[in-house]
Amino acid sequence: MNFDFIIVGGGSAGCVLANRLSENGLYKILLLEAGKKRNIWSSVPISFATLMNNPKANWLYKSEPDEGSNFRRIEIPRGKLIGGSSSINGMVFVRGQSHDYDHWSQLGNTGWSFEEVLPFFRKMENFSSGDDAFRGRNGPLRVIQPKENGLLYDAMFAAAREIGIPKNRDYNGEFQDGVAMTQATISRGKRQSTAVAYLNPASNRKNLTVLTNSYVTKLILKGNKCIGIEYLKNNTPHKVLANKEVIVCSGTINSPQLLELSGIGDAEIIKDKGINVKRNLPGVGQNLRDHYAPRMKWAIQKKGYTYNDKARGLGLVWQAAKYILFRRGFLSLPAAPMRAYVRSREGLLSPDIGISVNPFLITDGVKLAKESGFTMAVHVLRSESTGTIHIRDSNPITPPDIKFNFLSNESDCSILLKGMRMVRDWIHSDAMKDIAGVELAPGKDINSDAGLLDWVRDNAETTYHPVGTCKMGTDSNSVVDCQLKVHGIRGLRVVDASIMPTLTSGNTNAPTIMIAEKASNMILEANS
């Protein structure tokens, strides 16, 4: 069976493409997803805590030990269901800074300046306070700014003001600087994944076919052209051909894996795994970037203001009732309800540090701790440390080898330390003196740069924003061009977070959706 366009991966980008490419009714579209159609808990915002460890909705990848994590293996949750990671993430909506996209353009990626991507950001969103020069109001993806308040948030705003961090009405507007309640892909108390916002409205189109539990194992190449894919469904191999294009939307981990399994990548790596080289592209699997975040923790003197308190006994019953009846309370909120973007020093063009405020303490990864407190996560917005993702062997089921190399860049270490000391200043302000208790982690006795960095290497985690392994560009390590076409292979594009040349300043789901919107437009124009 033939289709015009085959989309590999029904995640944050794939659902967008499936909607937009099928919209005009002119093309036959096939969307393949390795996971299931849905998870019953995905719609409840707080469910991200359990979905992070759920093998039915998550690839459950882990990194290889390296020096940046004191040779720990770090968990890397990635969505394995329709909607991909947008169906299991913390629903935080951050576009990043205009500087991020202008930098992409300066690297030679024509068409990717902020001015050129802004229309697609506006096109994709339905922001509750939108419809100005920077924000959209008529798109499919609903975005809200929660109005949850309380003593902790009020004190945090006052404390930020004390140390010179202003309040920002819209960090996705003209400027990112400041502290704000978190904007989120939530509507009426329910998660707005790309499955909900994009795929569901298109699901009845006769020209769109969606296959779940269908794991793509190989791209079919004829000379220098991609003509189709091979996939497994119920352990049975299948083959399907594309009349126009195959579009890989498998994400930062799975997209380079699929390219290498198909003979596209570094020739030496591919040959070593017993795979015939179809196209030597040394950049495949290189340039892995992510936000590495230490979680600083404090006890709280005031009870009743953290999730740890609210989730106990009758409090949890009340929160459940509040959610069921009114779609309110902490069950309806994103992962980090408050955040700040700040500059590590004067003279910078834009913020280089991100800080999230989490009104809870967790243990064993995602479980709420018995004690009450809050967490401040800090990360370098545009980390320069890079890692790799490569196949281990020729078996498509084998998880790839993932190496982050966090803190391998000295500037990342310096900026992170400044961010951690800024967080301490924030919490030690007058506005927090009756609220913040003892510093639980790293602890007040760890003060030296070396001591803090050792603690970070022992305890920090990824913030689940991997990008860059099929980067867009014109240099020898780029994988796709500015049209997202794979260099040297006709009929093949990559459309997901893996094409980002550098990290954006914040959570990466919104930029990934923008990339898919822009790619859809480019594909339709090329075939008009």
Q: How far apart are CA 412 and CA 293, in angstroms?
A: 11
List the domain boundaries for the chain: 148-181+292-380+407-459
Pairing of strands 295-300, 373-380: antiparallel
Phi, psi torsion values for 242, nearest 5 degrees:
-115, 130
Q: Are 256 and 402 in contact (CB under 8 A)?
A: no
pLDDT of residue 497: 98
Residue type, 438: V
Q: Are 160 and 341 in contact (CB under 8 A)?
A: no
Q: How far apart are CA 27 and CA 13, in angstroms?
A: 18
Q: How far is CA 506 from the centre of its chain?
A: 9
pLDDT of residue 335: 77
- Find the angle CA(139)-CA(79)-CA(506) to the nearest 5 degrees: 60
pLDDT of residue 282: 98
Place of tokens 């001015």: 115
E strands, 260-411, in order: 264-265, 279-280, 292-293, 295-300, 338-342, 353-358, 362-363, 367-368, 373-380, 388-390, 401-403
As a three-state string, the secondary structure of 472-503 is ECCCCCCCECCCCEECCCECEEECCHHHCCCC
The total number of residues shown for the chain amounts to 528
Neighbouring residues of 120: CB distance < 8 A, sequence distance ≥ 6: 514, 517, 518, 521
Q: What is the pLDDT of residues 105-141, one digit of tens each?
A: 999 999 999 999 999 999 999 998 877 899 999 999 9
Q: How far apart are CA 503 and CA 383, in angstroms?
A: 7
Q: How far apart are CA 1 and CA 178, in angstroms?
A: 53
Q: Which residues of the chain have pLDDT under 50?
A: none
Q: Are 94 and 85 in contact (CB under 8 A)?
A: no
Q: How far apart are CA 35 and CA 289, in angstroms?
A: 25
Class of domain 148-181+292-380+407-459: alpha beta
pLDDT of residue 151: 85
The whole model's pTM is what?
0.96
Residue type, 198: Y
Helices 114-124 and 509-526 cross at an angle (nearest 10°) of 100
Write down the catalytic residue from 103, 291, 465, 487: 465
Catalytic site includes residue 465: yes
3-state helix, strand, coil in the chain (%, to 5): 30, 25, 45
pLDDT of residue 318: 60
